Structure 1
Amino acid sequence: MYDLIKTLSLFAYPLGGFFLLAALAVGLRLFGRPRIAIAIAAFAVAWLWVWSMPATSERLRAGLESQYDYLAVEQVPEGDAIVVLGGAFSRDAAWPYPSAGGSVDRYWHGARLYRAGRAPKIILSGGRHPDRPDDLSEAEAGAQFLGDMGVPGEALLLDNRSRTTHDHIRYLKPLLAEAGIDRLLLVTSATHMRRAEAVFHYAGLEVTPVATAFSVPSDPVITLRRYLPSVGGLSGSTRVVHEWLGYAFYRVRGWL
């Protein structure tokens, strides 16, 4: 089910929408409707252009990120544990160490909070991904990364089963109850925090959101390139659509 939902969701993203429109245009052309086909093809190109503009991507991401402040560690209240939600690591069979992506700032900020004494424990949540050639879970990769940063192993608690935001609740709650942990500092990317915080609150957990990995500049420079399509712009817009879809799906399922 996990893989099926992830696969189907691709067609709801901007790039997937472009290919669906392009396929429709080709079909109409083959069935003798050239004018409609050209109109839909033109719309498909415009659709992809708009979603791929950095100006569009920044505006969409700002809509999620502006709900949270980028707090210095001294401003963060103390808690019983820091929860770092996974999603940063992959690993190639030929490379012996976890390979970090843009979301690695979650782990970095978790370590920063720990070293500042904001909580005595760090909980790492993230299961094994079917695309990985090894058997390393996201939480285990994060533990290796934090260990390299000097965080002691005895300060870490690992949830090796969660693969979605909702899974974090399903598998974390028993772990928290067993460890007697009540007050959580929730660390995740700013674009992901709205959905993550809502899920934790719905589960009745006491959390303080500590957003990180803010990606929109506070004072962007207006240039022509912000209105030209780019891979980075499309990627940023897709992340926002992913959060919209995830939030709506969780609403429908009654998880929020």
Structure 2
Amino acid sequence: MFLFLSKLLPIFIYPLGLSCLLLILAFILIWKKRSRLALIPITLTFLILFFSSSSWISNAIVESLEFQYITQGELPTADAIVVLGGATESALPPRPWIEIREEGDRVLYAGKLYRDKKAPRLILSGGRVDWRPSSTSEAEDMAILLETMGVPRSAMLLESRSLNTRENAVYSQEIMKTEKIQKVLLVTSALHMPRSMLIFKKLGIDAIPAPTDYTSVLGNQSTLEATILDTLPDADQMRRTSRALKEYIGILVYRLRGWA
């Protein structure tokens, strides 16, 4: 139930879901002949949609998360690389093979770190949500992808039970204890890294952040044309804003539950 509610409730806090709720309220007020009062939720809807879809706003919120763990210099070696799921879609018809999502950089970067000899083993962490059709766990999908990159299956430790970030950490720690792994490189999206590190630290795991999948870059200088376009509403910017809000909501909920 917690998993279902954790997916459902935030939808009504994200810009699009909140705007829909406000519009429903506006329609109710209009139906009750209170048109003047309905202007309040209508105005709020406009402001939420406009600002959440602005590049200026989305960049500010996203960068406040992504830039917390920028890698300085070369990453040190560790006993293993922990890769968090959320990067693949199962090979269900009509897909010819496993599909890599935007977060698929996690798998690619983990493979690079292994080939750079940063760690001799990889812990691939990720199950599948029950109500979504799938043929394999995310951990298995990542293992198949890494094999195509030349990583031997013998170097992989699969954790296929986790359904959220905390479970990623808890079940990965169980494997670490069994395999006597002390220090790990933690690979996940830069946007997801702050929440992940809070959880890993709370559990006492010696994790070195190795973020990837950045959606913002340092020193990005805009031209006049780009500046004009950045002020206009854009659906992709709203998606970025929503992803960042998801992380902040997740951090708040995990702190309230004592998980971070």
2:122 alignment partner in structure 1: 122
What whole-Å deviation, never above 9, does each CA across 1:37-63 have from its counterpart, x for those lacking one?
A: 123212201211110112211111111
The structure 1 residue matched to 2:253, chosen from 234, 249, 254, is: 249
Tell me how far apart the structure 1 counterparts of residues 210 and 246 of structure 2 sit (CA, whole Å).
Answer: 21
Task: Return the alpha-carbon distance in structure 2 between the equivalents of residues 59 and 195 of structure 1.
Answer: 18
**Residue in 2 that maps onto 1:228:** 232
1:27 equivalent to 2:28? Answer: yes
TM-score (norm 1): 0.95
Runs of 4+ displaced beyond 6 Å: none
Structure 2 unpaired stretches of 5+: none
Q: Give how far 1:94 is off.
A: 2.0
Aligned-residue sequence identity (percent) comes to: 36
8 Å Cα contact 2:114/2:120 also seen in 1: yes
Look up the match of 1:78: 77
The total of aligned residue pairs comes to 254
Question: How far apart in 2 are the matches of 1:232 and 1:184?
Answer: 33
1:204 maps to 2:208: no
Give per-residue Cα distances to partners, 1:62-103, cap 9 Å, x unaligned.
11112122456xx00000000011101113332241111110
Kindly report which structure 2 residues correspond to 1:121-140, keeping only aligned pairs within 5 A, or say none: 121-140=121-140
Conserved? CA contact 2:80–2:121, under 8 Å = yes
Runs (5+) with no aligned partner, structure 1: none
8 A contact 2:85–2:124 mirrored in 1: yes
| Closer, same or farther: CA 7–52 of 1 in aligned 2, 3 Å | same
Letter in 1 for 2:227: T
Distance 1:98 1:220 in 2: 36
Q: CA RMSD in A?
A: 1.3
Distance 2:188 2:149 in 1: 18
Q: Distance in 2 between matches of 1:213 and 1:220?
A: 20
| Structure 1 residue 38 corresponds to structure 2 residue 42 | no
State whether residues 129 and 137 of structure 1, in contact with CA within 8 Å, keep that contact through their aligned partners in structure 2: no
